[in-house]
Chain A
């Protein structure tokens, strides 16, 4: 149980393109979803936390107009990287928690490797 599907797994596109990444909880309702970014050999960096039906809470230093997050249902959250540039190239990972308490383990999607040329 607790499977999270993330799509696409890899994106290569030109600078200036907007890229949408989907995160779906397949067998549970995800009250809270998280979006992370990870650069090579570095730790996970939380970008934002989203709850279904409300605006995402962004971490300090993360541009909300650059990284648009939509959590429209209990099983789907999307991250759109708008007008992506080479410095946005990274490994983006979503996760979701079950239940009402944030001390539940996070279940991760497989990640999206974004390469901006």
Chain B
């Protein structure tokens, strides 16, 4: 089977740093996406990794290790508006997009 694992929920403090992990087992790999989804809204694209290493984009960074089937999304200088669900999704060898269940991130003042 194919599956993606992420923590169900995480809590962090405003101004702090949080790392959301994602591990995957898929039939092949053609890239990994991170999306942000606020409650009641559609997902918005955050990042795409296809090669090993860290991709930095402002306060958000995404890391990939293909050999370990592992990625993380790093959020720095957390703001209240970062409270949302963060979805990890992997493209397999058939170019199907496999979605994780998402990690609900709660930011406290």
Instruction: Report A's interface with B, CB cutoff 8 A.
Output: 6, 34, 42-44, 46, 91, 93, 95, 101-103, 105-111, 113
Instruction: Check B42–A42 contact: CB distance below 8 A.
Output: no
Task: Given A103-B30, A103-B50, A105-B48, answer yes or no on A110-B99 (Cβ-Cβ < 8 Å).
Answer: no
Complex Cα spacing A44 to B30, Å: 20
Closest to A59 in B: B96
Q: Which listed residue, B40, B41, B97, B100, touches A106 by the CB 8 Å rule? A: B97
Chain B interface (Cβ < 8 Å from any Cβ of A): 30-31, 33, 40-45, 48, 50, 87, 91, 95, 97, 99-102
CB pair B42–A103 under 8 Å, yes or no, is no
Residues A110 and B41 in contact, CB atoms below 8 Å apart: yes
Pair A110/B45 contact, Cβ less than 8 Å:
no
Q: Report chain B residues within 8 Å CB of A46.
A: 97, 99
CB distance from A47 to the nearest CB of B (A): 13
* Interface-central residue, A34, A93, A103, by most chain B CB under 10 Å: A103
- Contacts known (A43-B102, A44-B87); A105 close to B43, Cβ less than 8 A: no
Given the known interface contacts A43-B87, A102-B91, the answer about A111 and B42 at a Cβ–Cβ threshold of 8 Å is yes
